[in-house]
Amino acid sequence: GAGVSQSPSNKVTEKGKDVELRCDPISGHTALYWYRQSLGQGLEFLIYFQGNSAPDKSGLPSDRFSAERTGGSVSTLTIQRTQQEDSAVYLCASSLRLQRLDGNTIYFGEGSWLTVV
Amino acid sequence: KQEVTQIPAALSVPEGENLVLNCSFTDSAIYNLQWFRQDPGKGLTSLLLIQSSQREQTSGRLNASLDKSSGRSTLYIAASQPGDSATYLCAVTWEAAGNKLTFGGGTRVLVKP
């Protein structure tokens, strides 16, 4: 597609439910990143993928969070047993190659706004 | 701890003035530094990327400088316009941190007509 596409754009869920957030990166981009942006916390790194593998999961806040990427394209971020503190904007980004290889431009989607009530 | 700091958190200027946005980082061993713009309710748009070997990058009215030894970068926006109102974020990719970007808290800019 023309840009990074995320769905849903908005999600309100009850505490304790599971949610899935989807990211469709720019076609041909091998690197995919998930970030979280919450009030008072700024932008936090969650996880990145190179192809289908995730070398760095260090940013995932707890074992309730998981992510996968299939076919080197679409990625899904899953949050199990959601808590109110999970409320945030979840941003996905992609780039042609990894940042440390040649520092190429990274493109962000508009985010999935998650509210846990 | 590797941190990125942006001061001030908010800035208001009259139209036509030049904008100067500051970013500081704690460790000079970086791969690159990027400046992004975020409009309310939107994602981030990459403005400029400076590799560790570069001193500055320019695009139109935007100019970003990098001083690794002092751990600072400055984004200059010449002749500001109301359309420049947004939050500007600086992000660093550190050599020791793999491929993740570490963001500053951003500077919220308002350009008054």
Of B34, B46, B100, the CB nearest to A45: B100
Substitution target from A10, A100, A105, A107 for chain B, most B beta carbons within 10 A: A100
Give CA–CA dist A60/A80, Å, rounded. 12
Q: Is A59:B100 a contact under the CB 8 Å cutoff?
A: yes
What is the mean pLDDT of the segment spanning B27-51? 91
pLDDT reported for residue A71:
87
Shortest CA distance to B8 belongs to which of B83, B113, B65, B88?
B88
pLDDT reported for residue B41:
83
pLDDT reported for residue A58:
84
Is pLDDT above 90 for B47?
A: yes
pLDDT bucket at B68, cuts 50 / 70 / 90: very high
Q: Tell me if A33 and B101 make a contact (CB, 8 A cut-off).
A: yes
Please give the torsion angle defined by the CA atoms of residues A113, B2, B7 and B9, in that order, rounded to the nearest 10 degrees.
20
pLDDT reported for residue B43:
87
**DSSP H/E element including A102:** helix A99-102
pLDDT tens string B73-105: 999 999 999 999 999 999 998 887 777 889 999
Give the residue on B whose Cα is nearest the Cα of A42: B105
Of B32, B43, B100, the CB nearest to A111: B43
pLDDT tens string A50-108: 888 888 888 999 999 999 998 889 999 999 999 999 999 999 999 887 665 555 788 99
Q: Tell me if B46 and A99 make a contact (CB, 8 A cut-off).
A: no
Q: Is B23:B36 a contact under the CB 8 Å cutoff?
A: no
Q: DSSP assignment, residue A2?
A: -
Q: Tell me if A91 and B44 make a contact (CB, 8 A cut-off).
A: yes
Give the residue on B whose Cα is nearest the Cα of A49: B99
Structure tokens belonging to residue A49: 């993928």
- What is the distance, to the nearest Å, from the Cα of residue A65 to the centroid of all Cα atoms in its chain? 11
pLDDT reported for residue B76:
97
Indicate the residue type of B59.
S
Smallest CA–CA distance, residue B25 to chain A, in Å, is 15
What is the mean pLDDT of the segment spanning A20-34? 94
pLDDT reported for residue A18:
98
Which residues does B53 contact at the CB level (< 8 Å), separation at least 6? none
pLDDT tens string B12-37: 999 999 999 999 999 889 989 999 99
